[in-house]
Structures are given as C-alpha cells and as structure tokens.
Amino acid sequence: MKIIVGLGNPGRKYAATLHNLGFRVADELARRWSLRFQENWRVKADVAEGVIAGQAALVIKPLTFMNLSGHAVAELVRNRELGPDDLLVITDDVNLPIGRLRIRPQGSHGGHNGLRSIIERLGHQEFARLRIGIQPTWEVEDLVEFVLSKLPPLEQGQLAEMIGLAADAAEAWIREGSAETADKINGLRRFESEP
C-alpha cells in the first residue's frame, strides 16, 4: 500500500492559501480516482482509501494543523507497517520558483514545519517528498503571512496548473518510484516567465 499525505491547515480560513497546496493536490487525486475522504479522529486526519494508478493507496489530509502533521502520519505508517518507499508527502516550498516541482526520495525538512513534525514523529527522514514551488517574485517581509495568503490572479492560475501536474507526479511516483519520477519533473521549467 502507498500513502500520499497532502499537507495543509484545516478550515475555510486556510483553504485557498499557499500553505494548503498539499491539501489541494490530495483533493485532486481523490477527485480523479473517485475516492471519498472520511474523518478519522483516531489518527486526526481526513483519509481516503482506494486504488490509484493500479495500487492500493491512502490519501491523507492531517487535521492537526501544519506544525503537528507528524501525529497523523506516524500513526498511519506504523499501523500499516509500511516502509520508507511507501510514503509520499506533498507540500509547498518557498525556496522553489512558482512553476517548479521537485521530488526527492528523502531529505531534511528544509525549514518546513509540516515536514519537521513528520520527521520528528517518524524518527527518520527517509520518505519521499514532492515540493510545489511558491517562491514570491517580490520582496516579502513576513514569510508566515505570505504562505498564509492568496496569490494575485496570474500566480493563482499558475498554481492551479501546478496542482494538476503535482497530482500527475504523485501518480507517477506510485507507478515508477521516486528516482524515475524525479528524472521527469525535477528541473522542469513550466512557465516562460520564470527566470
């Protein structure tokens, strides 16, 4: 079984913010594969179970807020007795330009509190992560305020396209694994305006 975790914050207040791109990709995967989310209060997450790209899969949206995402993830991983190759975490990344995706089989949290929580709760960083670029093209004084904001219309359109491409990448990860998927998407420049 594969577990795909989309990171975000629960509630309408955060639904359309940059920090909720992981949730939006999870929603897109569920839509494509006709999966339904159900609240699982034992693990504190919305969980959808079914088949994606020919494999049994869980799609998870932790309901603990970003900084405590590891609680739900660690509980599900341990209960299912899954290995490092069975977990993919999808999140935003302020260090990647808008229009970029990057997948890696493992790595540090890179300053992202959701990834930090998962690493702490699992006790290791050996799981795949798919990052969606949200790097601002203007000077930002408050990074927290930025990630909890909505983008101007042009960038919103770009991110909507990136959500679809990230869902494609998650499906490729299920079929082919991290290395093959990385060969296809890492370094790809999606938008002409990107420097």
pLDDT (tens digit per residue) in 131-147: 988 877 767 777 777 77
Say what the pLDDT of residue 173 is.
Answer: 95
Q: What is the pLDDT of residues 125-134, one digit of tens each?
A: 989 999 988 8
| Distance of alpha carbon 71 from alpha carbon 152, whole angstroms | 33
Domains of the chain: 2-185 (3.40.50.1470)
Whole-angstrom distance, CA of residue 68 vs CA of residue 121: 9
Determine the angle formed by the axes of helices 113-122 and 70-80, rounding to 10 degrees: 40
pLDDT of residue 159: 77
Q: How far apart are the first and last CA of the chain?
A: 39
pTM: 0.88
pLDDT of residue 192: 42
Q: Quick one: 12 exposed, middle or buried, by C-beta within 10 A (0-12, 13-18, 19+)?
A: exposed
Segments in the chain below pLDDT 70: 138, 151-155, 187-195
Active site residues: 19
pLDDT of residue 195: 40
pLDDT of residue 105: 78
d(CA 148, CA 171): 27
pLDDT value of residue 86: 92
The rounded distance, in Å, linking the Cα atoms of 159 and 91 is: 13
